[in-house]
Structure 1
Amino acid sequence: MAKKTQQRTFNDVLSTLGSQRFDVAPAQEGAKRTPGAFQVRKYECAAEIADAGDGTVALLARPGYILGGEISRILDRGYQKFLKTSKLEIPATADHLRAVHNFSQELNEATGATSLYNESLGTTSDRYVYDRVKGRE
């Protein structure tokens, strides 16, 4: 069953994150960046959040480990998980996955997001790419 905490306003979330030792800084501007977005960091992991317009928090970039200054995505290939950025892909270690899991849990709690049972068991992947037989997707 999903556990939902009390919804908080964006300004409340920013102050809560700062008090819980998250590094909160304006997100780097780029082609796909939202104005007023913030990058939240802790445990060598990061996510990007912004005001959703109604005062609540919108998650722009899912939590991921920081590699080469970018937030990585977790890629599951069936036999192993990998951390992937636009320029780099490395095998994920248990320490990487533990850091992403802890960061995600603390971020969800601070923002008042819904906490799902399967996510509380361990790290979930952003993409699942298993070996496929040619011609059968």
Structure 2
Amino acid sequence: MQFTMTRRYRFCAAHRLHTDHLTPEENRTAFGKCNNPNGHGHNYVVLVTVRSGANEGAVALERLDRIVEETIVERFDHQDLNQDSEFAALTTTGENLVKLIWNLLAPKLPAGILEKVGVIETRDNYFEYAAPTGPR
């Protein structure tokens, strides 16, 4: 038998959608009010889904919570995402954030346990990432 379990975490962070590959006008056109030079903030919700089953090792909830708190929440809470070193060459979009969160968590959890990561950025914006599982 295999089950998945999803835990919810929260952090507040600011960012500005902007890329140096576009002109200021192109950035304003592409990102609208989210390109505000002063940035803007979100109350992010991160959903971490892990696998467990009768024949697999499960990750204890306390351990999962500690890993996510130390790796994700402490890193991003009340920060400017544009100042994070991982975003030096990336735009701080929800797609890039959810993949970064996956990449930060996956090595800290038992192999194969992490099923997917979701990020709720706004009432209308949800981003989800799960690493590819081999040839299809």
- TM-score band by shorter chain is under 0.3
What is the TM-score with the length of structure 2 in the denominator?
A: 0.25
What is the TM-score with the length of structure 1 in the denominator?
A: 0.25
Structure with the larger RCO, 1 or 2 (CA within 8 Å, 6+ apart): 2
Q: Which has the higher helix share?
A: 2
